[in-house]
Structure 1
Amino acid sequence: MKGNGQVALITGAARGIGRGIALRLAKDGFDVVVNDIDSEAIHLVAEEIQALGRRSKAIVADVSSGKEVDEMVDQAVDQFGTLDVMVPNAGIAQVKQAIEITEEDWDKVFSVNSKGVFLCARAAARQMIKQKNGKIVNCASIAGHDGFSLLSHYSAAKFAVVGFTQALAKELGPYGITVNAYCPGIVGTDMWELIDEKMGEYLGLVKGEALKKYSELISLGRVETPEDVASLVSYLASSDADYMTGQSINICGGIVMN
């Protein structure tokens, strides 16, 4: 097993990509702490992990709150003794033209997608520096490599994650800690159902047509699954990736190739 009893913490793990990552790392041999703001759903994911024979703990916390994030990491370490992998996966999307975005919209998207990644990585780094090892695997997006129309604040927030990943990797390298990011494309999750619906309103398309339109950009010809993303995170969380740091890797079926 890759994890061999190591401990991973995944935020936004109640469904979609986060749940897929949590279950994959459990199958890899990690004990997994799962976080979300949805108490009922996140406890069900913890039960799924336990059914796979791994230890798990569900923690309800808001990743945009430094106090709650710090307490979440403290709880994980208190119960399991270490934190080997941090995956700040929690994210939100909003479809709007840039001229319609309010300050509140901007702040909300950045509070989760950028600030949340920063707070989780900061808390994890403090623990990992004590251990002199660890892996931080941030959630970015292909929208962090190529800005997308109607997703300007989301794109900006994900570009910020890419820059932060590079800078943090340089700071933590001397401690034996790697920092990378995964950049999904069009994934068949609740988030993309919302994007499809809202983009359809702007583009004059019925439900499902916006997703179909953008899916035509996928070189491999199919919509991505959470398991596709989880496979990359599995690698980045493993010893196979010990010499990789500062990278933000597209996992998108060939939509973006830079």
Structure 2
Amino acid sequence: MSISKGIALITGSAQGIGRSIAMRLAQDGFDIALNDVPTKGPQLESVATEIKSLGRQVCVVPADVIVDEQVKEMVDGAVTNLGGLDIMVANAGVATGGSLISSTVESWDHTLTVNARGTYLCYKYAAMQMIDQGRGGRIIGASSLLGKMAFPYNCSYAASKFAIRGLTQVAALELGKYGITVNAYAPGWILTDMTKGVMDESGKVDFARYIDDPVSRKWCTSVLENVPIKHIGQPEDVASIVSYLASKEAHFITGQCLSIDGGISMA
């Protein structure tokens, strides 16, 4: 086994983008703590087996990221099993659609709770651990194209992902003195199990499945049709950006939200 580059904890890593991030960081030489909700235990164990085959140490720390005590225990579990925490990737989240008028308070609260509060708790307990260790660290969160550029019929999701950008900037300002950088990544349409309900293998999105207004559908479709890079976004594309943000080379980058969307958003 090669010398470890450090310990990385990735939330929502049972599948999709989170799984790809975990695999990439393991390939980079990090030991890995895998997290998802307890019901995804079998998937987490499958990912853990793959990481072990790469010669890296791995542990599974199931938790619901919206529960304060569970997030604290998740971080403590990673530290106990692997010896510390150098990288926190707060990837867990939910994707929801719905217009401002048709949405419910319940759907709003659920989306903001998982995406915004969950990320906040991961940032908080990771920062506390990294400060105690005294060796700096990397905190990385999952924003979205919709955290930079609003699309219709995504009111709660866009709000939650814009919130992560603000949280990231505040955390970067507060934690820089400890040698901790805080950044976020903003994927566009990425082909995962979560998006397969509205996105086919060719990358075409069927907005009719959740947008009933033809004007809004036409606008969304035109945005994707005019993306500069025609490559279909894959989880590995996001993982490569996280790999860089987790590296020593990214030590002078903080408070940023990097887009992985083929050029849809250039802000």
TM-score by length of 2: 0.90
Superposed displacement of residue 40, structure 1: 1.0
Correspondence 1:96-135 to 2 at 5 A: 96-132=98-134, 133-135=136-138
Is contact 2:7–2:82 with CA below 8 Å preserved after alignment?
A: yes
* Residue in structure 1 matched with residue 146 of structure 2 by the alignment: 143
Aligned to 1:7: 7
Aligned to 1:33: 33
Match of 2:202 in 1: none
8 Å CA contact retained: 2:198, 2:206 = yes
Q: Which residue of 2 aligns with 1:45?
A: 47
Retained in 2: the 8 A contact 1:63–1:116?
yes
2:187 matched to which residue of 1? 184
Partner of 1:200: 208
The match for 1:240 among 249, 254, 262 is 249
Residue aligned with 2:196, SS: helix
CA contact (8 A) 2:153 2:211 kept: no
Return the offset for 1:179: 0.3
Identify the match of residue 254 of structure 1 among 245, 263, 266. Answer: 263
CA shift, 1:195, in A, is 4.5
Identity of aligned residues (%): 46
Evaluate the alpha carbon distance shift between residue 46 and residue 217 of structure 1 in structure 2; reply closer, same or farther with a 3 A threshold.
farther
Structure 1 residue 98, shift from structure 2 partner: 1.3
Q: CA deviation at 1:148?
A: 1.3
Note the C-alpha offset of 1:200: 2.2
Q: Superposition pairs for residues 14-93 of structure 1, below 5 Å? A: 14-37=14-37, 38-93=40-95
Provide the C-alpha distance between the structure 1 equivalents of 2:223 and 2:263, rounded to a whole number of angstroms: 12
Aligned-residue Cα RMSD (Å) equals 2.3
1:190 aligned counterpart, secondary structure: coil
Other structure's SS at 1:13 match? coil
Partner of 1:216: 225
Tell me, in whole angstroms, the C-alpha distance in 2 between the residues paired with 1:202 and 1:111: 22
Q: Distance in 1 between matches of 2:87 and 2:210?
A: 40
In structure 2, give the amino acid aligned to 1:248: C
Q: Distance in 1 between matches of 2:165 and 2:210?
A: 28
Q: Which runs of 5+ in 1 are unaligned?
A: none
Q: TM-score, normalised by structure 1?
A: 0.93
Cα 1:117/1:98, change in 2 over 3 Å:
same
Number of equivalent positions:
255
Contact 1:165 1:179 in 2 (8 A): yes
